[in-house]
């Protein structure tokens, strides 16, 4: 995640945009990562070796449209904020 523009909730990074804006890393459930990589190999990329231990995945930004990008970012953010904050934002 070095040399990236990072978005955080406290000390937790939930999104890291590459400087060339071609890819972004996002918080993503670790248990769903392999399935996403297998189902959408052009869209999702594995995290760097250093980030494999985290709930993280890389996204090819050219392969996602705006609504899907918004959903991915909100899901990553939701993983980091207190449940009360997420419930208030999503009207739950």
Return the SS3 of 89.
helix
- The span from the CA of 40 to the CA of 50, in Å, is 22
1, pLDDT greater than 80:
no
What's the CATH code of the domain at 22? 3.90.1150.30
- The span from the CA of 90 to the CA of 81, in Å, is 12
Residue 73 token pair: 């970012």
Number of domains observed in the structure of the chain: 1
Q: Supply the mean pLDDT for the chain.
A: 95
Q: How confident is the model at residue 3 (pLDDT cuts 50, 70, 90)?
A: confident
Query: Average pLDDT for residues 1-26, to the nearest whole number?
Result: 92
State the residue range of the domain holding 57.
4-90
Quote the pTM value: 0.89
Q: Do residues 77 and 69 touch, judged by C-beta distance below 8 A? A: no
Q: What share of the chain is helix, strand, coil (3-state, %, to 5)?
A: 40, 25, 30
Q: What is the pLDDT of residues 55-85, one digit of tens each?
A: 999 999 999 999 999 999 999 999 999 999 9
């Amino acid at each position: 995640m070095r040399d990236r523009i990072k978005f955080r909730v406290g000390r937790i990074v939930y999104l890291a945009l590459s400087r060339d804006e071609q890819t972004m890393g996002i918080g993503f459930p670790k248990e769903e990562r392999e399935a996403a990589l297998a189902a959408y190999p052009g869209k999702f990329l594995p995290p760097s070796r250093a980030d494999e231990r985290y709930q993280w995945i890389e996204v090819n930004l050219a392969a996602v449209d705006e609504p899907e990008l918004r959903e991915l970012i909100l899901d990553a953010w939701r993983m980091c904020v207190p449940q009360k904050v997420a419930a208030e934002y999503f009207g739950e």
